[in-house]
Amino acid sequence: MSSSIYATLKKYFGYDEFRPLQIDIINSVLANKDNFVLMPTGGGKSLCFQLPALELSGLTLVISPLIALMKDQVDSLKANGIAAEFINSSLSAREIICLQDQALSGKLKILYIAPERMSLDSFKMFLKNLDISLIAVDEAHCISEWGHDFRPDYRNLRMLKKLFPQTPIIALTATATEKVRQDILKELGIEQAKVFISSFNRPNLNLSVIKKKNALEKLLILLKKYKDESIIIYCFSRKDTENLSNELNSEGFKARAYHAGLEAEKRRRTQDLFIKDEINIIVATIAFGMGIDKPDVRLVVHYTFPKSLEGYYQEVGRAGRDGLPSDCVMFYTYADARKHKFFLNEIVDEKIKKQAERKLDEVMKYAELKSCRRQYILNYFGETYLEKNCKTCDCCNTEKTTFDATIIAQKILSAILRTDSRFGAGYIINMLKGKLTDRMSDLGHNKLSVFNIVNDFSNDELREIIDQLIKHDLITKTGGEYPILIITAKGHRFLTQKEKIELTAMPTKEIDEERRTENLTYDQGLFAKLRVLRKQIADKMNVPPFVIFSDASLQEMAYYFPANSENFSLIGGVGSRKLESFGKDFLKVIIEHIKENNLLSKEIYKSRVRKKAAIYKQALDKDTSSATIDLLNRKLTIIDIAKARGLAPSTIISHIERQIDLGTKLNLEYLKPRQAVYEKIKTAFQQCGDEKLRPVFEYLNEEYDYETIKLVRLIMKA
């Protein structure tokens, strides 16, 4: 192992230690071997070819699929004092010729190119004239038709080994099953490559799934906890991204939509605003993310659940790439499966269709888990996770309590039996709750003894109980687009022998409304000043702020208060080039802050493995809806409660709805509008259903506002 590797790491990248596997991979590359690297997003893949590029005599060629990814990485390399450039379709012919001349003259150490360039004979001739010491194929899963993101242009890379038989190739990806791995090695002609598989575990990511009911309201509550922090929200369709971004902007957030249907310049502009912190929320389809190297994304939301676990894990991998705690939230409802299945049914190749259906089923199993989510997803990627409690997923962090579910289970099973096992969960729940539909009336099911016999459980709770009864094998659910519930032999035995059953109770709340509080060890005042300075410098240089320094580096500065160049150079991420370029400005702010607040610098030990200076500790939030109910019991109007609490009337109504869903008994009769108005709106709900308000609003010719309509729905529920 050469000591120069560590000197290069510190000089150009500002770190004293390597992450797991990095040093082994780098040594293998420098030994002139082909290598395959499977490492999760944020695990440090790029360093595995960027550092060897500086140790090798010639040029390192990097094939990368997206323009934005190339630009971000090249900007970061240049900020570190490394001669790097990219060639892709965003450049003019003259610019490309100029860059080719630089490469031919040996002025570049790293050159990024797009895969489609390899289809051009003239470009291949240009490459043959270069002294190429290493070829890196990033996002290598794109070459496999079995992968989740197959790109035909990547097939052009088959010729690399023929063109450069003596040049080592390193293929890198964040997500690949065993089948995809073998396909990558075969397609690139590197079957004998040394394989490095890093742990897929990203312990800084908190994983959670929440029910997609009142989704917009839940999302707004969630976003308020991440004020001014970078957020990506993934939606199902282009239309969804536009609608949701408009909603968020109307609520005062800085959001932009991003999808493949936008003009290229608009997509580029949106991406640029995001990475430069001009806006903090991107609402996107999966067209966004793979080309983003932004390390400080603190929240990734899947507003509609994704179609594969590979895609999901790559998308949540956009969060917390700087190693700091970040949250990944999936909104889940079985109804969204129909959106995915509509497109699956259009797949002509039966083999590919079956594979896509299996991948979708895996995501749905993940969403419906009651056990550790981290363990499940790591097992999916072939990694054993032995911890009993990961402490970073909602299943592990939720205190599990059980309740005697014997009576409610009997009611559910009886309802399935009395309707001849011909219906799905939605129909059974409606019947048990006494929600009369036209079909139910036509079939006479409203006259059955099981009609309207459940008033102590909400719809969500009943669906949760049904899911648990399926897992306990009392019920089975058929496949297909419209699955039905059938009682198993075990279920029949449960009924006939009057057995008892205990089930896990649902958590009382999914999202708290209070703002997230953070008990941080670093000086937040100094951190804020350093962020302002970082943004000013980044704007002058026309680069993203994280190219100057990461949040993790700023937090270390705000923890140790380095007051001279020597100590400043010991901060993680401060290499010699950045010390020279930015050290003076940052030290000035730090020293002024120290004097103003009578602080002392803390000693930084050179030999230690540097830990993050900040650890997020989320305090448990207090549910504020109970205060609303106190005022409600005193017979105040919605408007008066809203004024007393300093909240919007819509928020007060949401508090009441939450309590009703939790089974709280409330007397809302005094809030009822005039009887004629009440009956009119009630009839509209009976005709349109009570899941969505807009159909009722339109059915009533927009005569009544949403608050009044929502209030009537609450009174009907209470």
Q: Which residues fall within 8 angstroms of residue 316, CB to CB, at 6 or more apart?
A: 205, 207, 300, 302, 328
At 166 the pLDDT is: 92
| pLDDT (tens digit per residue) in 488-506 | 999 999 999 989 998 887 6
183-197 residues labelled b (16+ CB within 10 A) or e (exposed): bbbebbbbeebbebe
Residues making up the chain, counted from first to last: 718
In this structure, are 179 and 213 located in the same domain? no
CATH assignment of the domain containing 674: 1.10.10.1390
DSSP helix, strand, coil percent of the chain (3-state; round to 5): 50, 10, 40
- Residue 576 in any domain: the answer is no
- Element containing residue 654 per DSSP (H, E): helix 649-661
- Which domain, by its residues, includes 180? 3-197
Is 525 within the bounds of a domain? no
Tell me the pLDDT band of 621, cut-offs 50, 70 and 90.
very low
pLDDT in tens, 150-172: 677 788 888 899 999 999 999 99
The DSSP call for residue 508 is: S
Identify whether the C-beta of residue 306 lies closer than 8 Å to the C-beta of residue 234: yes
Report the C-alpha gap between 330 and 391 in whole angstroms: 18
| Residue 567 CB neighbour total at 10 angstroms | 19
Our count of domains for the chain comes to 4
Segment 577-594 shows an average pLDDT of: 92
Contact 681, 701 (CB under 8 A): no
Give the pLDDT mean for 529-558: 90
Residues 341 and 287 reside in one and the same domain: yes
Least Cα distance to 272 among 678, 545, 575 occurs for 545
- Averaged pLDDT, 206-226: 88
Q: Are residues 100 and 246 in the same domain?
A: no
- Decide if 650 is inside a domain: yes
Last residue of a domain, one of 172, 197, 222: 197
- Residues 557 and 140: their CA atoms lie apart, in Å, by 36
Are 583 and 553 spatial neighbours (Cβ–Cβ below 8 Å)? no
pLDDT at 618: 28
For residues 341, 342, 344, 346, the Cα torsion angle rounded to the nearest 10 degrees is 160
Q: 256-270, 357-371, 619-633: which has the minimum mean pLDDT?
A: 619-633
Check: CB of residue 255 under 8 Å from CB of residue 282: yes
Cα torsion through 695, 698, 699, 704, rounded to 10? 110
CB neighbour list of residue 388: distance below 8 Å, 6 or more residues apart: 372
Q: Are residues 267 and 157 in the same domain?
A: no
Edge-to-edge order in the sheet of strand 297-302 = 205-211, 326-332, 297-302, 230-234, 281-284, 255-258
pLDDT at 482 over 80: no
- Kindly state whether residue 533 falls inside one of the protein's structural domains: no
The CATH number assigned to the domain holding 294 equals 3.40.50.300
Please give the single-letter amino acid code of residue 68: A
Residue 560 · residue 567 · CB < 8 Å: yes
Between 612 and 241, the more confident residue is 241
Q: What span, in angstroms and rounded, lies between the C-alpha atoms of 169 and 136?
A: 6
Q: What is the pLDDT of residue 644?
A: 66
User: Which pLDDT value is given to residue 452?
Assistant: 92
User: Which of the 8 DSSP states describes residue 617?
Assistant: -
What letters, b where the CB count within 10 A reaches 16 and e where it falls short, cover 595-606? eeeeeeeeebee
Asked whether residue 331 is domain-assigned, the answer is yes
pLDDT at res. 437: 85
CB 59 within 8 A of CB 197: no
pLDDT class of 661 with cuts at 50, 70, 90: low
Q: Mark whether 242 and 348 lie in a shared domain.
A: yes
Strand-strand pairing, 281-284 and 230-234: parallel
Q: What confidence tier does 526 reach under pLDDT thresholds 50, 70, 90? A: very high
Instruction: Classify strands 475-477 and 169-173 as parallel, antiparallel or unpaired.
Output: unpaired
Same domain, 160 and 60: yes
State yes or no: pLDDT of 341 exceeds 50.
Answer: yes
Domain co-membership, 346 together with 254? yes
pLDDT in tens, 43-100: 788 999 999 999 999 999 999 887 777 888 898 899 899 999 999 888 888 999 999 9
Show the tokens assigned to 65.
């699929």
Residue 141 belongs to some domain of the structure: yes
Taking the C-alpha atoms of residue 45 and residue 140, their distance in angstroms, rounded to an integer, is 12
Question: Does residue 616 have a pLDDT over 60?
Answer: no
Cα-only R_g, the chain = 29
Of the three residues 378, 397, 416, the one that is the final residue of a domain is: 397
DSSP letters spanning 372-441: -HHHHHHHHTT-----S--SSBHHHHSPP-EEE-HHHHHHHHHHHHHTTT---HHHHHHHHHT---HHHH
Q: Note whether 70 and 118 are within 8 A (CB).
A: no
Distance, in Å, from the CA atom of 412 to the CA atom of 221, rounded to the nearest integer, reads 33
Residue showing tokens 């819509």: 650
pLDDT mean over 312-325 = 87
Q: 329 with 392: CB under 8 angstroms? A: no
- Give the residues across from 36 on adjacent strands: 171, 195
Position 213 scores a pLDDT of: 80
CA distance 565 to 637: 63
Q: Are residues 192 and 321 in the same domain?
A: no
Cβ-Cβ contacts under 8 Å for 546 (sequence gap 6 or more): 76, 275, 294, 295, 296, 322
Average pLDDT score, the chain:
84
Q: Is residue 577 part of a domain?
A: no
Q: Are 389 and 460 part of one and the same domain? A: no
Q: Which residues contact 541 (CB under 8 A, 6 or more apart)?
A: 79, 547, 548
Give the CA dihedral 91, 94, 96, 100, nearest 10 degrees. -160
Is 551 within the bounds of a domain? no
Question: Is residue 357 classed exposed, middle or buried when 0-12, 13-18 and 19+ CB atoms within 10 A define those classes?
Answer: middle
CATH of the domain at 460: 1.10.10.10
Same domain? 356 vs 406: no
Domain end point (choices 165, 197, 229): 197
Residues 173 and 265 in one domain: no
In contact, 551 and 325? CB cutoff 8 Å: no
- Rounded to an integer, what distance in angstroms lies between the CA atom of residue 645 and that of residue 638? 11
Closest CA to 168 of 4, 25, 43: 25
Q: For residues 217 and 706, what is the distance between their CA atoms, to the nearest angstrom? A: 14
Whole-number Å distance between alpha carbons of 361 and 5:
45
Share of the chain above pLDDT 70, in %: 90
Q: Give pLDDT tens digits for 673-697.
A: 888 888 888 888 887 777 677 778 7
Using an 8 Å Cβ cutoff, are 275 and 248 in contact?
no
- Report if pTM > 0.85: no
- Indicate if the pLDDT at residue 518 is higher than 60: no
Question: Is there a single domain that holds both residue 189 and residue 247?
Answer: no
Q: Write the DSSP assignment of 99-121 as a string of letters.
A: HHHHHHTT--SEEEE-GGGGG-H
- Sign of dihedral through CA atoms 669, 671, 677, 680? negative
Q: pLDDT at position 615, please?
A: 27
